[in-house]
């Protein structure tokens, strides 16, 4: 197991900066997600931690040891790629044994370690089958087996489930997480899928344009997004943004929206001018008594809940409410926002003021 720490790590490719100076710590045994849209620098960050790419500047520590110049082969880590390359002419046992045999591990030990891994992955019954005829899921398990059998300090996974269809992907995600919980090895996992990151991760780093936007537990990131980018990238439908001109003082706990006072959590930073109130769709409630009103534009039935699109004085928003609420397009409804869940952003810089 391993603690991995990166400090002010930066990567340039020629004149292009793929990763701006970044710092965070992955604790021993954590399932850690690098999350962000395509091209944000998550793979480059992972490759630098793994030793497949040299940082332009900054330091990387594994268990306190600076490993910046150490090649991947000496970092005692294992990679699991999306396109799992197995040796098609070998059977499952041989595929899993291969890394140990090539390290010169004695045959008896190889046998017992392969069988232990097969038990963990529940593939004992296919050990002697050729990999050619296996299902996608079994192939993925064999690829994992090959990574696990070396007992590395940490696993690095770059969109390992990216090629799978949605249903199977969910199943394998659960398996991977359960496997991690049984083995406890530090795992760093790259994904652009916010749901996957929320479901699987102990901690998440959210990146955008080479910048670490936020780093924390899934719930912290969901409840207290540090930037508008994070607020929009996480959650479906994403957080609503209600733009307004106004002010909030340091320690202030309300803002004025279209003449209505809206209570918000206490502000850490004061600001004046162009602000944005952030409200998650599930934190909007219909209330006849509320002076803040919206007109129903559309409803989308999702079973127990429905998504209601509303036009407000501060722009279009989406609310997630019970399907038992009877509402029709064209109606005007009072809107209550669950105060303790609101956040306020500066429009110019996009960061949260609460």
**140 lies in the binding site for ligand ATP (CB under 6 A):** no
Interacting span for ligand ATP (CB under 6 A) from 37-45, 61-69, 195-203, 277-285: 37-45
The 2-31 site mask, x for binding ligand ATP (CB under 6 A), equals -----------x--x-x-------------
Q: What is the DSSP string of 153-200?
A: SEEEEESTTTTS-HHHHHHHHHHHHHHHHHH--EEEEEES-HHHHHHH
* CB contact at 8 A, 263 and 292: no
Of residues 62, 59, 34, 65, the one with CA closest to residue 157: 34
Long-range contacts formed by 297-303: CB under 8 A, 24+ apart: 297/329, 298/329, 299/327, 299/328, 299/329
The answer to whether the CB of 302 falls within 8 A of the CB of 230 is no
Nearest approach in angstroms of CB 13 to ligand ATP is: 3
Strands (E) across 227-340 are located at 240-248, 254-257, 260-263, 271-279, 284-286, 293-301, 305-312, 315-322, 332-337
Spatial CA neighbour of 57 closest among 47, 68, 46 = 68
Q: State the minimum distance, in angstroms, from the CB of residue 48 to ligand ATP.
A: 9
87 forms part of the interface with ligand ATP (CB under 6 A): no
Binding residues for ligand ATP, rule CB under 6 A, total 12
State the minimum distance, in angstroms, from the CB of residue 311 to ligand ATP. 35
Closer Cβ to ligand ATP, 39 or 68, answer by number? 39
Residue 55 interacts with ligand ATP (CB under 6 A): yes or no: no
Residues in a beta bridge with 241: 278
Least distance to ligand ATP from the beta carbon of 227, Å?
17
Which residue lies nearer to ligand ATP by CB, 56 or 290?
56
x/- mask, ligand ATP, residues 183-212, rule CB under 6 A, reads: ---------x--------------------
Task: Rule CB under 6 A: say whether 68 interacts with ligand ATP.
Answer: no
Among 23, 34, 41, 305, smallest CA distance to 188 is for 34
State in angstroms the smallest separation of the CB of 352 from ligand ATP.
Answer: 23
Q: For residue 101, what is the enclosing H or E element?
A: helix 92-102
Tokens matching residue 205: 């780093």
From 22, 43, 283, 299, residue interacting with ligand ATP (rule: CB under 6 A):
43
Among 24, 27, 39, 98, binds ligand ATP (CB under 6 A): 39
- By the criterion CB under 6 A, which residues form the site for ligand ATP? 13, 16, 18, 36, 38-44, 192
């Amino acid at each position: 197991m391993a603690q991995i720490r990166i400090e002010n790590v930066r990567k340039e490719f020629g004149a292009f900066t793929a990763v701006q100076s970044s710092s965070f710590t992955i604790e021993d045994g954590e399932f850690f997600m690098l999350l962000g849209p395509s091209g944000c620098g998550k793979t480059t960050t992972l490759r630098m931690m793994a030793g497949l790419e040299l940082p332009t500047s900054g330091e990387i520590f594994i268990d306190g040891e600076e490993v910046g110049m150490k090649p991947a082969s000496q970092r005692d880590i294992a990679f699991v790629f999306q396109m799992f390359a197995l040796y098609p002419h070998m059977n499952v046992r041989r595929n899993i044994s291969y890394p140990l045999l090539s390290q010169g591990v004695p045959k008896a030990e190889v046998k017992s370690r392969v069988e232990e891994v097969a038990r963990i992955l529940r593939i004992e019954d296919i050990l002697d089958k050729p990999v050619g005829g296996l299902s996608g899921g079994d192939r993925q398990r064999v690829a994992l087996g090959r990574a696990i059998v070396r007992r590395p300090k940490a696993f690095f996974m770059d969109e390992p489930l990216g090629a799978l269809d949605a249903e199977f992907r969910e199943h394998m995600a659960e398996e991977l997480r359960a496997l991690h919980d049984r083995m406890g090895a530090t795992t760093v996992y790259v994904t652009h899928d916010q749901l996957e990151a929320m479901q699987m991760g102990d901690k998440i780093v959210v990146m955008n344009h080479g910048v670490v936007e936020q780093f924390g537990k899934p719930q912290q990131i969901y409840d207290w997004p540090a930037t508008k980018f994070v607020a929009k990238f996480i959650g479906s439908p994403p957080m609503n943004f209600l733009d307004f001109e106004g002010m909030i003082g340091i320690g202030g706990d309300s803002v004025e929206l279209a003449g209505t006072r809206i209570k918000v959590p206490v502000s850490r930073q004061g600001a004046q001018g162009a602000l944005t109130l952030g409200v998650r769709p599930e934190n909007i409630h219909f209330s006849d008594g509320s002076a803040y009103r919206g007109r129903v534009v559309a409803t989308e039935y999702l079973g127990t809940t429905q998504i209601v699109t509303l036009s407000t004085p501060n722009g279009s928003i989406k609310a997630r409410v019970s399907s038992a609420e009877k509402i029709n397009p064209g109606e005007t409804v009072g809107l209550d926002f669950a105060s303790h869940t609101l956040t306020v952003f500066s429009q110019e810089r996009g960061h949260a003021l609460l």
